[in-house]
Structure 1
Amino acid sequence: MKKIICLKCKSHLEALSEKIPLSKAALDILQTPRKILQFKIPLTKDTGEKVVFDGYRVQYNNALGPTKGGIRFHQEVHLDEVKLLSFLMALKCSLVSLPYGGAKGGITLDPSQLSQNELEQVSQAYVRELFNDIGPNQDVPAPDVGTNNLIMDYMQEEYSKIAGKPALATFTGKSVGKGGSAGRVQATAMGGFYVLEEYLKQEKIDLKELRVVIQGFGNVGSHLADILWRKGAKIIALSDAKRALYKEEGLNIEKVLLEQKEKGCVPEASLMGAKEITNQELLELPCDVMAPAAISHQITLNNANNIKAKIILEMANAPIAPEADEVLNKKGLVVIPDILANAGGVIVSYFEWLQNLNNEIWEEEMVLRELKQKIISSFKKVSLIAGEKNYDLRTAANMVAIERILMAEKQRGNYLES
């Protein structure tokens, strides 16, 4: 039977193998997803109309433990994307020393076009399709783009109903009153902040002097903007799917968040004393830090030469296309890679899983303290290797992650070095 490889992962690994020697056996393991689940999800809408959506779950590698990764609801979800994101999750969990492999899932739909009742039905149907393939010691899903704690609550309740017993540890990112962890909502943004803060400290850069651009103003982007603004950084531009705002003197993030809460999107420029710009113009603004926190491949060969940020903090998954990476490196930009920068979410998901398994409840202070310790420890390891081997941070992070996965595969007899 012919192996189904992940072509985007293969390209990613081939580019990496120019810097890090990877044997044919290693490449074979790393470019091949362990299990791909693909199915249809029928829905009868509130109007009586019948529709069918495509559903996916890819369990990429489980050498280090149960697979772990989000479920996204988005109209552009497709199998190749899910395979790549599950591969990146495997690297992320390995890099930050979690006892997890990598997975990802999704449904091709626009959640804004469905009622809450329809979203609940779709979520329950997704769990019914995957019931035999997920579980606390098998595959542990979490929220992602287009999903949230309420969707996880629907899924966890459906799973427990089918199982005939409570199974809180099957899903993470749940509501706090339903087995979720304190600190989970802001965890990804806090993790990104801790990594950036440590990098700035290392380079002796004053955070209060930063001019920051944030692309994407959902859960991650809005929390990151709020954290940095409260710490004294100047947020000169931000965007969501509807519009992008630019204000050279800096936006009042507290006011933006209040308007966003009321209107459901980034407010009009005139309300913020700002100028409305395009998403492309936002990406190309001169700034100290740019944090892409939206979707994949926002920086490509088409615009890489126009990027003027000094530091890119990858809060989205794969916001820089692999072929654009080399362009940015040659320009001298520092990229803090996604598998490190946005690992805060999966780290606190791990804490939630532990709390559920052990019937514990941690205070938010403890969650954030443990998150900070774990993610800074990972950053220091990556930074040390980057310095010793003259690697960029992405190459160093990938090396740490891949070596740990291959060691686990070797220990269970699946990988023979050649």
Structure 2
Amino acid sequence: MTIYSGPVFEMAADQLTVVADHLNIPMDERDRLLMPKRSITVSCPIRRDDGTIAVFEGYRVQHHLTMGPTKGGTRFSPSVDIGEVAALAIWMTLKCALVGLPYGGAKGGVRVDLTKISRRELEALSRRYMQEMIPFVGPHIDVMAPDMGTDEQVMAWFMDTYSMYRGQTVTEIVTGKPVASGGTVGRREATGRGVAHLAKRVMSQLAIDASNATAVIQGFGNVGSYAAQELHRFGLKVIAVSDHTGALHDSRGLDIPALMRHAGTRGSIAGFSKEMEFDPSQILTLPCDVLVPAAIERVIDAEAAENLTCRILAEGANGPTTPEADLVLQNRKPEIFVLPDILCNSGGVVVSYFEWVQDLQQLFWEEEEVMRREYQLLDRAFERMLARAKAEKISNRIAAMAIAVEKGRTAMNLRGLFP
């Protein structure tokens, strides 16, 4: 029996099983690699604007602390549960190990529908959640960051709540903060930029001319919008995008700068163009060179994988492709080049690490330095993944996960069990 359940956690467990089989890891070691070190569930009562009291359920899962403090985002969503949060923490562990960061993975969440609370209630909920987490987090224990439904402002409230408890400003308790509050330049754009940078690397390998290439983006939040912006800057035509309100399609290419301004003002792509409205259920199968799923988990199942028409699948979201879809993609002809999520969207945690380092040192870098270092780490991990995949004739996902699992397993075995 386990408290972790649901399709997202089962998916993470299945992926680890595939890699463990490939690496011939003994059965008695596998649970230690899979099961989280610590899971916290809290009640977050707040006073509503009408004077009533509402209680929201919050979670934090710290996967393991073998290689340093844990690191991971906090999402506010009505669908959050402990299984989903645990799976995201596992993927964060793999992500950090793959790109060489001194972290284990963590994730947090609050089950809340943000459309049904006011801004004042959001601040109260953010502060209460952090207050409940104070015994379990710290700059060298667990460092929070934004995720779906949270942003720079929520991180500023988290930091202020923790700092009031400590009696001094502790900027390094969270990353993804506003620059004015100790954040780093380039953090907001980091994940999307990383997705686009790696997609461009693959385009060069496949001899795809950016000026004649097309891209489709599912999800136009922080990751998807900045990925679209960078791909547009590289010369690709972004022919379709979608978010929770609908989809837009124009074979001539969308005006991405204008769409970003619209979404920044309105909060979504809704209302940008009646003529370009499109069925969101068909966006993943549109013919394109680069497909970026940047929304939620498990959107590409086996059936969807059969119908993909892209040349590059750049996974901006966490866990967008199911293990069943992976089997389909491995046998697809012509081949689709998969940039797995634990590499493709790791630019965010890479620059979060840079923010943490800068906060600890109280020495801040220019944006050019942040970007240079981000791309350096991404390129190194990309090259290691490709070399491993080619040498062992395995998929990019298995290669990336094998590198990460080996690093975590080695660290665990060297430290041993205490007592």
Contact 2:98 2:403 in 1 (8 A): yes
Q: State the partner residue of 2:174.
A: 171
Q: Are the counterparts in 1 of residues 4 and 86 from structure 2 also a CA contact under 8 Å?
A: no
Work out which of the residue numbers 381, 398, 401 in structure 2 matches 1:398: 401
Give the CA deviation at 1:116.
1.4
Structure-2 separation of matches of 1:151 and 1:83: 21
Shift of 1:4: 5.8
Q: Quick one: distance in 2 between partners of 1:264 and 1:5?
A: 33
TM-score by length of 2: 0.95
* Cα distance in 2, alignment partners of residues 45 and 83 from structure 1: 29
Q: What secondary structure sits across from 2:390 in the alignment?
A: helix
Give the share of equivalent positions with the same residue, in percent: 39
2:77 paired with 1:77: no
Q: Could you say which residue in structure 1 is the equivalent of 2:151? A: 148
Alignment partner, residue 315 of structure 2: 314
Q: Secondary structure at the match of 2:39?
A: strand
Q: Secondary structure at the match of 2:23?
A: coil
Greater Cα offset, 175-184 or 326-335: 326-335
Q: Could you tell me how far 1:15 is from its partner in structure 2? A: 2.9
Higher mean displacement: 115-124 or 40-49: 40-49
Matched residue, 1:219? 222
**Any conservation in 1 of the 2:3–2:83 contact (CA below 8 Å)?**
no
Counterparts of 2:243 and 2:2, CA distance in 1: 39
Unaligned runs of 5+ in 1: none
Change (3 A) 1:137 1:386: same
In the TM superposition, residue 5 of structure 1 has moved relative to its aligned partner by 6.3
1:196 is matched with which residue: 162, 184, 199? Answer: 199
Q: 1-side partners of 2:184 and 2:397: how far apart?
A: 30
SS at match of 1:185: helix
Is the CA contact (8 Å cut-off) linking 1:5 and 1:33 kept in structure 2? no
> 1:187/1:325 Cα in 2 relative to 1: closer, same or farther (>3 Å)?
same
- TM-superposition CA deviations, 1:125-149 (whole Å, max 9, x none): 1111110110110000100000000
Residue of structure 1 in register with 2:305 after alignment: 304
Aligned match for 2:54, one of 44, 51, 55: 51
Matched AA of 2:312:
I
For structure 2, list consecutive stretches of 5 or more residues without a partner in the other structure: none
- Pair 1:15-2:26 in alignment: no
Structure 2 CA distance for aligned equivalents of residues 5 and 78 of structure 1:
9
Instruction: Please say which of residues 386-395 and 42-51 is displaced more in the overlay.
Output: 42-51
The 2-side partners of 1:120 and 1:105 are apart by 17
* Aligned residue runs from structure 1 range 151-300, under 5 A: 151-268=154-271, 270=273, 273-274=275-276, 276-300=277-301
Task: Tell which deviates more after alignment, 196-205 or 123-132.
Answer: 196-205
Residue identity opposite 1:97 in structure 2: G
Contact in 1 for aligned 2:259/2:272 (Cα 8 Å): no
What one-letter code is carried by the residue in structure 1 that aligns with 2:191? T
Output aligned runs, 1:327-346, within 5 Å.
327-331=328-332, 332-346=335-349
Q: Distance in 1 between matches of 2:163 and 2:265?
A: 35
Aligned length in residues: 412
Which letter does structure 2 place at the counterpart of 1:307? L
Cα 1:390–1:129 change in 2 (3 A) is: same
* Helix, strand or coil at the partner of 2:63: strand
Instruction: Give the equivalent residue in structure 1 for 2:122.
Output: 119
Aligned AA for 2:151? N
SS in structure 1 at match of 2:35: coil
CA RMSD of aligned residues (A): 1.6
Superposed CA offset, 1:39-72 (max 9, x none): 1111211122322111000000111110000000
CA shift digits 1:160-208 (9 cap, x unpaired): 1011122111100000010100100000011112211222223332222
Please state how far the C-alpha of 1:209 moved relative to its aligned partner: 2.3
Of 18, 24, 41, 1:38 maps to 41
Write the letter of the residue equivalent to 1:232. G
Kindly provide the amino acid, as one letter, of the partner of residue 409 in structure 1: M
User: Is residue 136–residue 142 contact of structure 2 (8 Å, CA) maintained in 1?
Assistant: yes
Return the TM-score normalized by structure 1. Answer: 0.95
SS of residue in 1 equivalent to 2:61: strand
